[in-house]
Amino acid sequence: MAEQKGRPGILLVAGNKKAYHDYFIEEKYECGIELFGTEVKSIRMGRCSIKEAFVSIDHGEAFVEKMNISPYEKGNIFNRDPLRKRRLLLHKKEIMKLAGQVQAKGYTLVPLQVYFKKGRVKVEIGLARGKKLYDKREDIRKKDMKREAERDYKVGVQ
């Protein structure tokens, strides 16, 4: 776990870099997540993965699905299913706005980060639009050009 630059008091547990590669992130929302005790302990140990996770909206509630929180070793009978649906804590207006955009405009909701903020587990979700193959190639080309420019700058400075 590492503290994020520019955001004091925030400990990053899990990030989803693949989401930025596969989607254009239009908006970001911070929300809480409904967890049980052993799940929080497991997250504190850094045993959380959101690479395959996605957010769904059912009956006016938002859920994160396929978010893997490994069972806590000392939790025995209190451990829950690692891949269970977990409810996200958002305001009703936010949920309705997101549901409307997902249905009407073809957006999707993806979790971007899981982190601790003031002792509470938070999930940052993004309203995302899928990238086409040529968009991904363009991003890779830009990253390569930036990397080469930085390399040339380092060589010239020394």
Q: How many domains does the chain have?
A: 1
pLDDT of residue 47: 86
Res 131: pLDDT: 81
Q: What is the CATH number of the domain that holds 97?
A: 2.40.280.10
Tokens of 48: 């959380």
The phi, psi pair for 107, rounded to 5°, reads -80, 170
**What is the C-alpha separation between 23 and 106, in angstroms, rounded?**
12
pLDDT of amino acid 150: 85
Asked whether residue 2 is domain-assigned, the answer is no
pLDDT in tens, the chain (158 residues): 666 655 677 888 888 888 888 888 999 999 999 888 788 888 888 888 888 888 999 998 999 999 888 887 776 766 777 778 889 999 999 999 998 988 888 788 999 999 999 888 999 999 988 888 877 888 888 888 889 888 888 776 65
pLDDT of 103 reads 87
CA distance linking residue 12 with residue 90, whole number of Å: 20
Task: Write out the residue range of the structural domain in which residue 48 sits.
Answer: 9-131
Two tokens at 152? 């040339």
74 neighbors 44 (Cβ within 8 angstroms): no
The residues, ordered by sequence, that sit 6+ positions from 76 with a Cβ below 8 Å of its Cβ are none
pLDDT for the residue 29 = 93
Q: HSE of 50 in the Cβ direction (CA atoms, 13 Å)?
A: 27
Residue 145 included in any domain: no
Written as six digits, the tokens of 18 are 């693949």
- pLDDT for res 89: 93
Burial class of residue 29, CB neighbours in 10 A (0-12, 13-18, 19+): buried
Handedness of CA 86, 91, 94, 99 (dihedral sign): positive
pLDDT for 21: 83
For the entire predicted model, the pTM comes to 0.76
Residue 142 located in a structural domain:
no
Per-residue pLDDT, 96: 92
